Structure 1
Amino acid sequence: MADTDNLSRRRFLQATGGAAAAGALAGCTGDGGDTTTTTTTTTKEPENELSLINSTIDTLDPIAAADTASGRVIMQLFDALTNYQDGTTTITNLLTKGYEISEDYKTYTFNLEENATFHNGDPVTASDVVYSFERLAGSSNSRRSSFILSTLGVKHETTSDGEYKSGSLAVTAVDEKTVKVELKSAFHASLQMLAYSSFSVVPEGIVGDIPGYDGRVEYQKWQANPSGTGSGPFQFDKWSSGTEARVTAYDDYYGAAPKVNSVHWQVIENDNAHYNYAMNKNADMFGIPTAFYDPEKVSVERETQKGQKLGTYGPLRNGETANYVGVPTINTYYIGFNMEAVPKPVRKAVAYAMNQQMMVDRVFKGRGQAAYHFTPPSIYPGGADQYTQHAKEQYPYGYNESRLDKAKQVMEEAGYSESEPYKLNWLQYTSDSWMEMAKILRDQLASAHIDMQIEQATFNTLLTRVRNGNMEAFTLGWIADWPAPDNFLALLDPPQTQTDVPGGSSYINWSSKTGSAATQAEQAYDVVQNNQKPTDADEKARNEAYVKIEEANWEDVGMLTVNHYIDEFFWYDTVADYTPFGGMGFSRQKLNDVVLND
């Protein structure tokens, strides 16, 4: 791979160098502290600005982002080859204007949009795609290398120790506007996978985090200020970690030009502050924290074929009535255990104590469905009815009930007692509703000889500690990257759960040393990987393996599922036109079609 640097690229380097020199530029710190990034010149006045609320943003590098908050901003700045239209499960072309698929489903040839440009005016080329995919596969900054190497399964070579061999990825530039992607084997959800934001395209050679490129911008500066390097409908304006972010309209966008001048996210972690900000009408569109939510105020006027419930919510505290959408997005929220640190009897005791339905009704006010599988109902093999039937008949810890007698029994059989309880360190996001759930569990588990110590942290801090294996139990959620069980159950493939493995999907450290069913899960996931064709026979084999993985997790309790959240979103009449998101969620929706009232 050559490190080319033509005249256009040199002009780009001069532009970004000037921006970087304008002030101190720092990346998002690991502990979620407030750091200041350089801001570019704002070309749009904020009058026609869409105002939103976000959580702490981790990074603006598409391959380094593994959180929803970062993804909301990245989705506006960068484009991938394909996209989920309006956050639904429908795949549409984005940077590709068309593609061809070989008869064996292993080779994809993409033709790029002729008019697609980066925000500095340079055209998006096939070489940019090759570089972007190479970064995803081989950069030390990539948190989703498994998505391209294992899940999508692009052909590549490995070193003697099994690591990816740099430059071996079978993604080639056929010509300036044609890209060929070769897979090791067929993958039934290739086009859906490519819509994930980690596959976003950035300019070739922009940073030097892979061999063959020195980089034109220092990485930490770029990931916090990617000025000029996106090709999405909005361009970077500013980001202050833990405080705010803003993007402005890119008028030369090859797709539908944005109808607002800018989008601003106020970063607010606290539920009370979040609600007050929305009630003061500082946000045009917002969620309502569960602690302040009243299901009696929802008035559903119609339901779409995609399962969206549309209507109104109100009156709000400020007297207004907001527009409303409720969507059963494809997600699962769960309690994760560092299985190396938490003994299996303790994990089982927590599972016996948990009554998922009670938590949904009492804590989350009915905003979801009790979760007994890691795979959400809408994509579970056989559908929602089979999901429920399997859970009712097979879930070992009590379907819609808390079995504290069994929790106590399993702990006493393991040698714990009232005088010698197990001390469980529990870390969770700063959410009032999740805190309420934790307190309920803490009080229940006291009778089962578990002394549960609860700690709260911002999402950024929580992720850092969990990734480092520096926690025993934690609360997290997984929102679909693509709508198939593989996407969820990769988190339960034991080799991908290790905290010491770069690019791992989850952080529970599941192995034959920490759980008797780890081998079953690993073998079942191998079956999934070996039956990836979009054929009925392969789908049948995958579906059987999916269930085996779910049952293995039941046995070892690496992840204790809690609920599948229903995303409910609200907006004032300051928004004149908005197409509500679908099953893939608001974080997958581009906002160039939102219209504000004058």
Structure 2
Amino acid sequence: MTSPIRRTALARLLLATALAASVGGFAGPAAAAEDTPIVVARNMDVNSLDPARGFCDTCQIYLTAVYDTLLTLGDDNKTLVPKLATSWEANDDQTAFTFHIAPNATFADGSPVTSEDVAWTLQRLKNIKGDPSFLMDSLASIETPDDKTVVIHTSEPNSEFLGILAASYTGIINKKLAEANGATAGEDAATADQADTWFFANSAGGGAYELDSYRTGDELRLKANPNYWDKKPAISEVIIKQVEDAVTQAQMLQTGDADIAMQIDPDTAATISDPEIVVDTVPSFNFLYIAVSPGAKGNSVPLTKPVREAIADAIDYEGMIDFTVGGKGKLQPVAIPNGFPGTDDLPMPKQDLDKAKSLLAEAGLSDGFTIEAHYPAVNAYGVDISLMMQKVQQDLSRVNISLNLTPTTFAVWREEVGGDGIPMTAVYYAPDYFGSAQYVQYFSMIPGQPWAKRAGVGKVEDLGNGEKEAELLKKAMASSGDAMVGAYHDIALQMIDDKVIIPLVSPDLVLASRKGIEGVRYSACCNLALGQLSRD
């Protein structure tokens, strides 16, 4: 089998040859800019097009374009700015939030966006119990004193609730239209709601775009919303094309078959010299990680705390960044992005083979053991996860841990990780809004949280930090300023100590597009804001 390093070099050679042979430019007939679709090349990871069920990077892009949220993030990726809500207020203890909806806001069918739509949408998000439902964990009740005023009450102080409402999964749905097609927001929505299939072929939002069509494994087409109440989109149609690898995405940019490529890795980007292609590299809040599950049925040995620590100590983190993104990335100590509240001055991960071997010896595993790794075979943020896991395999072999690699599809992976569990897996994460609570609620060992359940909290020992993490999260949610940051810092230290989620690399983001495409930027809530795109 060709080694990963040689395979990467071969890919670069093939790309350079293809680009040198290309004539460049788009050969089709001239057309007015607003009538020419923008084509986005990316490896799509769609699990649903329903705002209450979808949970993926492509989902963020789609939902942001089709469903307006109450608030959104400004260009600095930190400041909240108005969207459906023209203004808002919060009480002193961060448990009541009042929003005033734009009087001219409408859905794509022309009907007005009302407070009832907002209340129904958020209650449905909570009750569907899909992957993004954790965003509404603290939702207690919603009042609608009039058609354009919403008062949301949380069950406990939530200093990040305003930020949560900028997440694409909180996009407001046309209640009447969705209910007519099987949607419900009742407490039994997890079983009673029958709208998931309908959402794959239809949209019910009021954003800049509407769903035109979706073909699994092929393309996602969006058309401009003719009734959009806010600034009209400059492009009449956006097509997201399924393109698995960075080399092909780069070739499509070169030939004009794509206007934007979203998963160009730094190595591939370095081979592009076409003056018609604009390449920017910026730091990101994205990261890739491995996760170890002591509760998975397929474990060959108990994945106790010392064993998990040995796995973490065996990894060559600096080498991983060089190997996966050619050094164009950052170390990340915890499953909270660098730069988010509480992440300053955390201990950086480092390889320590002697310590790893000592820990394994103490656990009676000097001769090593075998562990299964199943993961989605995708390219995320320019990183080929299969290649990344080959590097993990090589690192672990140095301490006599044999890693069996099984790449799979996202559909199979989701079923496995939510079923009997996977001893080791690898995947990625992007922020839904600017705030650290989302990471604690997803990655901590607090009982009931997604990765706590997957890891086996309550079923196996050595996962005891959840209670302390829960106390600290409560403190952070009721605090602001330095007190909040300090609480998140303490949580981060506990999450590092869990040794369940082990971040490997935070890749710099390559933004690649054809010259003349404006508005291409990285958004922490939306990934890529299609409504801001235009053609010069």
| TM over 0.5, shorter chain | yes
Equivalent residue for 1:221? 197
Q: Contact 1:525/1:545 (CA < 8 Å) preserved in 2?
A: no
Aligned to 1:425: 373
Report the equivalent of 2:22.
none
Deviation at 1:359, TM superposition (A): 1.0
What does residue 491 of structure 1 align with?
Answer: 442
Identify the residue that residue 48 of structure 1 maps to in structure 2: 36
The runs of at least 4 aligned residues of structure 1 exceeding 6 Å deviation read 212-217
Question: Structure 1 residues 87 and 457, CA, compared in 2 at 3 Å: closer, same or farther?
Answer: farther
**1:157-216: CA deviations, max 9, x gaps?**
xxxxxxxxxxxxx11211111111112333222221111122111122523444399999
Counterpart position of 1:290 = 265
Structure 1 window deviating more from structure 2 (80-89 vs 368-377): it is 80-89
Q: Is the 1:116–1:124 contact (alpha carbons within 8 Å) kept by the matching residues of 2? A: yes
Which position in structure 1 is the counterpart of 2:161?
190
Q: CA deviation at 1:417?
A: 4.9
CA distance in 1 between counterparts of 2:281 and 2:435 reads 21
Q: CA separation of 1:261/1:268 partners in 2, compared to 1, >3 Å: closer, same or farther?
A: same
In the TM superposition, 1:85-104 aligns within 5 A as 85-86=74-75, 88-104=77-93
Say which of 252, 261, 284 aligns to 2:236: 261
CA distance in 2, matches of 1:332, 1:217: 33
Partner residue of 1:452?
A: 403
Q: Name the residue aligned to 1:250.
A: 225
Q: Which amino acid aligns with 1:340?
A: G
**2:139 maps to which of 154, 165, 169:** 154
Bigger Cα displacement from structure 2, 361-370 vs 339-348: 339-348
The equivalent residue for 1:115 is 104
Question: 1:464-483 CA distances to partner (integer Å, 9 max, x unpaired)?
Answer: 33233442211122212222
Choose which of 341, 347, 363 in structure 1 pairs with 2:308: 347
Distance, in Å, in 2 between the alignment partners of 1:506 and 1:274 is 36
Report the counterpart of residue 3 of structure 1 in structure 2: none
Alignment counterpart, residue 318 of structure 2, candidates 357, 362, 373: 357
CA deviation vs aligned residue, 1:388-433 (integer Å, no higher than 9, x gap): xx33xxx5xxx3xx32333233223323354x63233342433474
What secondary structure sits across from 1:592 in the alignment?
Answer: helix
2:455 aligned residue = 509
User: Residue 229 of structure 2: SS of its match in structure 1?
Assistant: coil
2:292–2:423 Cα contact (<8 Å) kept: yes
1:232-243 mapped onto 2 (5 Å cutoff): 232-243=207-218
Q: Distance in 2 between matches of 1:353 and 1:216?
A: 47
Residue 528 of structure 1: aligned partner: 473
Please show how residues 52-451 of structure 1 align to structure 2 within 5 Å: 52-54=40-42, 55-86=44-75, 88-140=77-129, 142-149=130-137, 153-155=138-140, 170-205=141-176, 206=178, 207-211=182-186, 218-227=194-203, 229-290=204-265, 292-295=267-270, 314-315=272-273, 319-341=274-296, 342=299, 343-344=303-304, 345-381=306-342, 384=344, 386-387=345-346, 390-391=347-348, 399=350, 402-418=351-367, 421-431=369-379, 433-451=384-402
User: Would you say the 8 A contact 2:69–2:170 is kept in 1?
Assistant: yes
Which one-letter code corresponds to 2:357 in the other structure?
A: K
Amino acid across the alignment from 1:424: E
Correspondence for 1:596: 535
1:551 aligns with 2:489: no
Q: Is the 8 A contact 2:254 2:277 kept in 1?
A: no
Mapped to 2, the partners of 1:175 and 1:48 lie a distance apart of 42
Q: CA deviation at 1:288?
A: 4.8
Q: 1:61 is aligned with what amino acid?
A: D
**TM-score computed with the length of structure 1 as normaliser:** 0.75
Out of 506, 521, 526, which is 1:580 matched to? 521
**1: CA distance, partners of 2:35 / 2:193:** 32
- CA distance in 1: counterparts of 2:520 and 2:395, whole angstroms: 43
Q: Could you tell me how far apart the structure 2 residues matched to 1:526 and 1:114 are?
A: 41
One-letter amino acid of the structure 2 residue matched with residue 274 of structure 1: Q
Q: Would you say the 8 A contact 2:90–2:97 is kept in 1?
A: yes
Q: 1:510 to 1:483 in 2, by over 3 A?
A: farther
How far residue 272 of structure 1 moved from its aligned partner, in angstroms, is 4.0
Q: Tell me, in whole angstroms, the C-alpha distance in 2 between the residues paired with 1:133 and 1:458.
A: 30
The alpha carbon displacement at 1:568 in A equals: 1.5
Identity, in percent, stands at 18
Residues 80, 200 of structure 1: 8 Å contact kept:
yes
- Look up the SS of the partner of 1:477 in the other structure: strand
Displacement after TM superposition at 1:257 (Å): 0.1
Whole-Å separation in 2 of the counterparts to 1:213 and 1:412: 50
CA distance in 2, matches of 1:506, 1:246: 36
Q: For the residues of structure 1 that align with 2:339 and 2:134, how far apart are their CA atoms?
A: 24
Q: Which residue of structure 1 lines up, in the alignment, with residue 12 of structure 2?
A: none
Q: Which residue of 2 aligns with 1:34?
A: none
Which ranges of structure 2 fall in alignment gaps of 5 or more residues?
1-31
Instruction: Supply the distance in 2 between the matched residues of 1:561 and 1:377 (Cα, whole angstroms).
Output: 11
Who is 1:566 aligned against? 508
CA distance in 2, matches of 1:187, 1:86: 24
Distance 1:212 1:447 in 2: 51
Relative to structure 1, the CA distance from residue 560 to residue 94 in structure 2 (aligned partners, 3 Å threshold; closer, same or farther) is same
1:17-56 matched pairs, under 5 angstroms: 47-54=35-42, 55-56=44-45
Q: How many residues align?
A: 490
Counterparts of 2:424 and 2:455 in 1: how far apart (Å)?
12
